[in-house]
Amino acid sequence: MMDWTDRHCRFFFRSMSRRARLYTEMITAPALVHGDVDRHLAFDPAEHPVALQLGGSDTRELAHAARLGERYGYDEINLNCGCPSQRVQTGSFGACLMAEPALVAECVRAMRDAVSLPVTVKHRIGLDANEDYGFVRDFVGTIAQAGCDVFIVHARNAVLKGLSPKENREIPPLRYEVVRRLKLDFPDLVFVLNGGLVDLDAIERELAFVDGVMIGRAAYHDPWLLSGVDARLFGEAAPVATREAAIAALVAYAERELAAGTPLRAIARHVLGLYHGMAGGRRFRRILSDAARLHDADVSLLTEAAAGTGL
């Protein structure tokens, strides 16, 4: 979800669910050591609960980044051991770390020693053609000994060479049974299933076997999916009853952001899927993706786009 789940996206998502835990895009530890910390970590208090996902393999850098995350008020620190992109591999981040469980354990210990927040790990179920259950079982066991008790598991192998990140989300087969088996073998640990979940029926079905689920692109492309989470899974009313109410909440946020110098396009790009599959959805997307109109537009463009959707 790099370049997708930024603070504007997360604020928008939060308007549709109070209970879903939000995650940042992966932010590399070196970027926080050497870069603009506020640009990477600032977020709206309305986003809580929100987790900071880090990429890295240097224990000192990760400890420093975790301390910054705690200082900024995040609720969780998550280490990404699942991203298969070549760019991430070059920096020894992401899925390639599954081949070095002892190093991941050191990273987890360093972050746990640095902060009082929960430190969690996101990973795949295997690397390349290795589908041996023992590989992921031993990975989880090693990291658990370092004090990690929450594992977010993308139920596909990561193919490190030969497949693009997009292909890595589609070609390696989903094997939910592996995550279910992990839960049986480590009943005291928390397992969150990720990968291929696109509707609330599928989510509810898998929750019979695991402790939680994570959805990414399905929610990004169809954000209204989140509006059913609170009622269906937590027995609570959703924050908004209509898509128009979600837009209204975003307008107030966008007014503040535009006053601070944020361009409308930085916010509008995350909203394009709100009317996915609905009457007027194509018109909505066309208005909010028109570069010429976005260049000089104010927040009224958001309400204009929502008008005439037929909902």
Taking a C-beta distance cutoff of 8 angstroms, is the pair 173, 125 a contact?
no
- Phi/psi at 243 (nearest 5 deg)? -65, -35
Cα gap 220→290, rounded to integer Å = 19
Our answer to whether residue 96 is catalytic in this structure is no
* Helices vs strands, H then E, count in the chain: 17, 8
- Residue labelled with tokens 């007014």: 255
Residue from 81, 83, 96, 148 carrying the catalytic annotation: 83
Angle ∠(10,160,98) on CA atoms, nearest 5: 75
Cα gap 222→165, rounded to integer Å = 21
> Looking at this protein, which amino acid is placed at residue 272?
L
Using CA atoms, how far residue 246 sits from 17, 111, 250, 306, in Å, is 10, 36, 6, 10
Cα gap 282→276, rounded to integer Å = 8
Query: Looking at the DSSP assignment, which residues form a beta bridge with residue 81?
Result: 123
Q: What's the token pair of residue 192?
A: 């969150």
Cα gap 306→287, rounded to integer Å = 9
Taking a C-beta distance cutoff of 8 angstroms, is the pair 108, 100 a contact?
no
Cα gap 130→178, rounded to integer Å = 13
Cα gap 42→39, rounded to integer Å = 6
Q: Which one-letter DSSP state was computed for residue 284?
A: H
C-alpha of 164 from chain center: 19
Tell me which residue of 64, 18, 58, 19 sits closest to 40, measured CA to CA: 64
Kindly list the catalytic residues: 83
